[in-house]
Every structure is written in structure tokens, then in C-alpha cells.
């Protein structure tokens, strides 16, 4: 079956859209085979379509497995040996017989199928190209517009409306309200490419959101003078962020706080009032643990084993060091990567704690 206009149109699409003709041919072969199989031969039949751009031909084949003549009932995709021998003299049981056929109503079905496949491929290619442009946005902060909110997910138009970001329930912050039409800042967690499952996953709960917000507010961080060493977060409640200065003349904590707290307050406002503890990082892990338990005062920290320590605090600061439902201590553990046992001075006096590291005044 010759169709020069058909292949000429595919060549034009390759030039205009930059989509390989081979991609169209592969998709069309499968789609045409599926269309004729359903219409003529049944769901379990095996139809093969071979498109040859060089000869501008489209050829259709019905593939059937040769079975014994004694078989009582044929299934789709099977042919008796006796009938197979009439088509191919060397046929034997188990062979797959390829028989060419001329489809009925070819023009209408082929046109409909080709249109569907071409539109789908154009859409997929444009989406994949856009996703490719977004691939370097992983781990970045982006602004968007909430377009849809359902029972579970929030859908956000990113950039200039080029692509939609998906915020799953685990990436949402309890207590935050997401309304259609609202502007929102999100952290790009992951760009997943791959056919129909391609998507951009964004988050409001990731620790990376806090890090990127501070980079946006603090020039010293963006310039690399002040470095964010670690962030631990319980979204909507509290964040602990450890920082260090690479320049002795630059006060890392002061840079992050800003004049009259302007910089940190801007981040807190974006996070809906979430509390943020800005902690000076230390190379000495025991000193770092003491700082991580801020705002509580720590008397001493003693290492007990591999990445395990006990921190001693004044009796009246024990509840502050542990925090409500253990939150402050829990965040300190995540920030430092150490297991921390918080003890009051009176409880610690009953223990033999050697090599205690007192905290700096």
C-alpha cells in the first residue's frame, strides 16, 4: 500500500517539530496494528504493521501460530496446519505464519490513528523538552501559582506557566492553607521524566526550602562567605540551622539575622511563623551538640560512645532543652547526627561523667 503524502507529512513534522521520523513510525506501527486488531481480528490477535519510508509503503500482516488439525477449537492468533500449508508449503506446527492483508476502510482508520499518535507525540516531546529544561532546577527555590487543589494534592504552575508542579501530602505543611490563585514559593524536590509519568515534585516541608530561602535573603550565603552546614526541621513548628563563616571578619549569625532581625523575619514570615534557631557550627562535635540544644543553656557534654553523648543542663532548663514533646532534643539529634541524652545537673551528679566538655560562655 503506497502513500507518499503520508510519509511526506511525517518528514515535514520532523523538520518543524524536531521529532524523529523513526519515533513517529514506531508509534504509528503499534497504533495502527492495535486499531485493526480490535476492529477486525479480536483483542488476542497479533497484527503487525510495517512502514517503509524509503519506499513510502505501509504493509499489514496477520501473525498466527500453526496448531494441529485435531485441535477442537481455534483461538485468536492460531491457524490449523492444513490451512497453513495452503499459504506456505513448508509450514509446520509451532511456526508463526505471517500473512499479508489489505485492510478495509484504510484511509479513515489510518487518518484517525495517525492524528491521535502525532498529537500525542508532539505533546510528549514538548513536555519532555520542558522537563529537560527544568532538570537543572532540582534542589532550587521556585515561585509559582496554585492552579488546583484536590483532596490530597496541590498543583502549582511554575515559571511562566511552562509546567505544572505537584505537591504531594507529605510535602505539604500541616496548618498551611493552599488556595487556588495564591502565589507560593516551593522547593523543587525532583524532576521525574519518562513518558506519561513525567512530573515535577515540589515541597513546602523539605529542609532545603529553609536553606534556599536564607540564600535568597542573605547575600553572604549566596556569595559563599557564610555556609549552611546542616538543617533539621519539623515543618510548621521549628527549624534548626547550623552555619559557619569562611571569613573571620564576617559574623555568620549576624548576617543571617540581619539588621533588627529583618532577614530571619522575612524567612519566618514565608514559613508562616515557624521558629528558627540559627546555630554556629563547630568542628568539635561536643561543642556543636551544646550549641544545637539552644535556646537551653548547656553545662557540659560528655561522649559516651561512637556518636553518642550526654548533655548536662541546669535543673530549671531541662524542659527547655528537651522541648515540647521532645522536639528541641530531637531536632538537635538530626542536626548533629549524634545520639544525645539530655540530663539535669542533679541527675548527672549521680553519674560518673569523665572528659566532659564545658560549653563556652
Give the number of domains in the chain: 4
Burial class (CB in 10 A: 0-12, 13-18, 19+), 181: exposed
Grid coordinates representing 282 are: 563547630
Is 18 a domain residue?
yes
The answer on 147 and 97 residing in a single domain is no
Is 305 a domain residue?
yes
Concatenate the DSSP letters of all residues of 37-72 into one string.
IIIII-TT-EEEEEEETTTTEEEEEEEEEEE-TT-S
The answer on 270 and 232 residing in a single domain is yes
The answer on 160 and 80 residing in a single domain is no
Whether the full predicted model's pTM is greater than 0.85, yes or no, is no
Grid coordinates representing 320 are: 527547655
Question: Which domain-ending residue is among 245, 262, 281?
Answer: 281
Is 354 a domain residue?
yes
Longest dimension (CA), the chain: 100
The answer on 195 and 210 residing in a single domain is no
Q: What is the CATH number of the domain that holds 229?
A: 3.30.300.20
Is 12 a domain residue?
yes
Is 337 a domain residue?
yes
Strand partners, 66: 79
DSSP, res 27: H
The answer on 100 and 9 residing in a single domain is yes
User: How far is the C-alpha of 117 from the C-alpha of 123, rounded, in Å?
Assistant: 10
Question: Which domain-ending residue is among 133, 156, 187?
Answer: 133
Three-state DSSP class for residue 283: coil
Burial class (CB in 10 A: 0-12, 13-18, 19+), 356: middle
The answer on 56 and 15 residing in a single domain is yes
The answer on 119 and 28 residing in a single domain is yes
Contact partners, residue 261, CB within 8 Å, separation at least 6: none
The answer on 340 and 328 residing in a single domain is yes
Q: What is the CATH number of the domain that holds 197?
A: 2.40.50.140
Q: What is the CATH number of the domain that holds 74?
A: 3.30.1480.10
The answer on 113 and 16 residing in a single domain is yes
The answer on 276 and 320 residing in a single domain is no
Print pLDDT tens along the chain (361 aa).
546 777 787 788 777 777 777 877 888 888 888 777 766 666 667 888 888 888 888 888 889 999 998 887 888 788 999 999 999 999 999 999 998 888 777 667 767 777 777 777 777 776 666 666 677 788 999 999 999 999 899 999 987 656 789 999 999 999 999 999 999 999 999 887 655 556 789 999 999 999 999 999 999 999 999 999 999 999 999 999 999 999 999 999 999 999 999 999 999 999 999 999 999 999 999 999 999 999 999 999 999 889 999 999 999 999 999 999 999 999 999 999 999 999 999 888 877 654 455 555 4
Question: Which domain-ending residue is among 160, 185, 202?
Answer: 202
For cell 547526627, the residue is 337
Is 163 a domain residue?
yes
Is 56 a domain residue?
yes
Contact partners, residue 85, CB within 8 Å, separation at least 6: 91
The answer on 240 and 192 residing in a single domain is no
User: How far is the C-alpha of 77 from the C-alpha of 44, rounded, in Å?
Assistant: 7
Is 138 a domain residue?
no
Q: How crowded is the C-beta side of 236, counted as CA atoms within 13 Å?
A: 11
Question: Which has the closest alpha carbon to 207: 267, 263, 290, 285?
Answer: 267
Question: 175 lies in which domain range?
Answer: 143-202
The answer on 193 and 147 residing in a single domain is yes
Amino acid at each position: 500500500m503506497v502513500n507518499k503524502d503520508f510519509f511526506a507529512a511525517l518528514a515535514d513534522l520532523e523538520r518543524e517539530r524536531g521529532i524523529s521520523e523513526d519515533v513517529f513510525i514506531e508509534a504509528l506501527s503499534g497504533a495502527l496494528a492495535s486499531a485493526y486488531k480490535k476492529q477486525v481480528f479480536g483483542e488476542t490477535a497479533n497484527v503487525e504493521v510495517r512502514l517503509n519510508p524509503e519506499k513510502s509503503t505501509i504493509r499489514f500482516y496477520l501473525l498466527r501460530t500453526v496448531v494441529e488439525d485435531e485441535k477442537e477449537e481455534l483461538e485468536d492468533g492460531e491457524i490449523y496446519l492444513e490451512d497453513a500449508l495452503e499459504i506456505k508449503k513448508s509450514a509446520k506446527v509451532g511456526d508463526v505464519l505471517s500473512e499479508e492483508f489489505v485492510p478495509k476502510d484504510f484511509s479513515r482508520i489510518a487518518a484517525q490513528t495517525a492524528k491521535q499518535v502525532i498529537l500525542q507525540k508532539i505533546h510528549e516531546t514538548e513536555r519532555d523538552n520542558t522537563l529537560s529544561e527544568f532538570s537543572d532546577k532540582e534542589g532550587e527555590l521556585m515561585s509559582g501559582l496554585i492552579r488546583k487543589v484536590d483532596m490530597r494534592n496541590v498543583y502549582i504552575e511554575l515559571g511562566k506557566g511552562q509546567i505544572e508542579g505537584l505537591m504531594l501530602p507529605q510535602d505539604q505543611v500541616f496548618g498551611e492553607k493552599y488556595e487556588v490563585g495564591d502565589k507560593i514559593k516551593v522547593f523543587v524536590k525532583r524532576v521525574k521524566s519518562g513518558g506519561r509519568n513525567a512530573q515535577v515534585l515540589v515541597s513546602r516541608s523539605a529542609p532545603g526550602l529553609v536553606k534556599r530561602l536564607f540564600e535568597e535573603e542573605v547575600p553572604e550565603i549566596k556569595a559563599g562567605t557564610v555556609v549552611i552546614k546542616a538543617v533539621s526541621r519539623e515543618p510548621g513548628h521549628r527549624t534548626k540551622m547550623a552555619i559557619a563563616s569562611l571569613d573571620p571578619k564576617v559574623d555568620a549569625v549576624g548576617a543571617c539575622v540581619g539588621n533588627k532581625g529583618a532577614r530571619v523575619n522575612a524567612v519566618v514570615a514565608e514559613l508562616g511563623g515557624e521558629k528558627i534557631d540559627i546555630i554556629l557550627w563547630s568542628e568539635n562535635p561536643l561543642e556543636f551538640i551544646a550549641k544545637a540544644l539552644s535556646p537551653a543553656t548547656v553545662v557540659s557534654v560528655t561522649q559516651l560512645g561512637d556518636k553518642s553523648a550526654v548533655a548536662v543542663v541546669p535543673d530549671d532548663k531541662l524542659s527547655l532543652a528537651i522541648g515540647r514533646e521532645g522536639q528541641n532534643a530531637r531536632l538537635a539529634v538530626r542536626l548533629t547526627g549524634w545520639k544525645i541524652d539530655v540530663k539535669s545537673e542533679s541527675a548527672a551528679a549521680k553519674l560518673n561523667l569523665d572528659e566532659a566538655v564545658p560549653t563556652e560562655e
